[in-house]
Amino acid sequence: MSTLAHTVVVAEMQARELFRRRGVMTLFVLLPAAFYYAVPADEDWSVLAGSMGVSWAVAAAGLFGILGWRRADPRLALAGAPAHQGLLGRLLLLQALGIGLVAVFVPQILWRSAALLEQPALMAFALVLMAVVSVPLGLAIGALVPRELEGTLVLIGVVGIGMSVPPDTGVARALPLWGPLDLMQIAAGWSDAPVRRAVAHAALSAVLLLAVAYWSWRRRVRVHT
């Protein structure tokens, strides 16, 4: 079987697994809305809360998706599918789900919080970047942490610290979601920093997280096989 075929098979199997969990998929859509609509529309915090809800939902899908497949990956490896194909299949599926969630959520933000946005298109792009970085974040945590509880706590910590620390601190810049959050500040008119800085940070974070996920998952599959 070719590389593309292996990747498509993994993505299809992961999609079936996720879509069978109707409650999980419902929460996947409702969680960002709950974050966003819990804050009054005229509060600056509302857009940030909604974006972090998107991050949490997408990253959690990656986390639980990869943890739920730990028994399947060794069998895929024995069938000739390398670890990178399994991760790539999940990455493609989860990125598609993340972009789909952003497509549902962005019109709500642009309508409800229009008064807070100086550059609406840039805000939409920031949310796309949030989803793009959150998928590797969930995959990396799932590959590194052995169980769901520990993985969830790590994810809560990363997202929670990203929401609470001042964005101009070194701690904030060390977090993977700082790039999209920085871009949101530019879109809202709170910062005049260059857009390329935020985009570069997001791209670097995604690449590093994928590298960590690949290294850890490849090592784990080799040990089991």
Most confident segment among 8-17, 40-49, 155-164, 197-206: 197-206
What pLDDT does residue 85 have? 67
Indicate whether 221 pLDDT > 70. no
Indicate whether 176 pLDDT > 90. yes
Mean pLDDT of the chain: 80
Percentage above 90 pLDDT, the chain: 22
Buried b (16+ CB within 10 A) or exposed e, 85-124: bbbbbbbbbbbebbbebbeebbeebeebbeebbeeeebbb
Q: How confident is the model at residue 191 (pLDDT cuts 50, 70, 90)?
A: confident
Angle between helices 178-188 and 120-144 (to 10 degrees): 170
Percentage above 70 pLDDT, the chain: 76
DSSP 130-165: HHHHHHHHHHHHHHH-SSHHHHHHHHHHHHHHHHHS
Indicate whether 21 pLDDT > 90. no
Indicate whether 203 pLDDT > 90. yes
Indicate whether 225 pLDDT > 50. no
Most confident segment among 7-16, 20-29, 107-116, 124-133: 124-133
What pLDDT does residue 13 have? 66
Look at residues 216, 38, 53 and name the one whose alpha carbon lies nearest to residue 142: 216
User: Where is pLDDT greater, at 14 or 45?
Assistant: 45
Report the predicted TM-score, pTM, of the whole model to 2 decimal places.
0.83
What pLDDT does residue 223 have? 45
The values of phi and psi at residue 97, to 5°, are -65, -40
Exposure of 157 by Cβ count < 10 A (0-12 exposed, 13-18 middle, 19+ buried)?
exposed
User: Where is pLDDT greater, at 101 or 225?
Assistant: 101
DSSP 20-48: H-HHHHHHHHHHHHHHHHTS-TTSTHHHH
- What separation in angstroms does the CA of 125 have from each of 83, 97, 103, 115? 31, 16, 11, 18
DSSP 37-99: HTS-TTSTHHHHHHHHHHHHHHHHHHHHHHHTTTTHHHHHHHTT--HHHHHHHHHHHHHHHHH
Indicate whether 224 pLDDT > 50. no
Joined together, the tokens standing for residue 167 give 């964005």
Single-letter code of the amino acid located at 2: S
Q: Quick one: average pLDDT of 106-122?
A: 88
What pLDDT does residue 89 have? 75
User: Where is pLDDT greater, at 92 or 219?
Assistant: 92
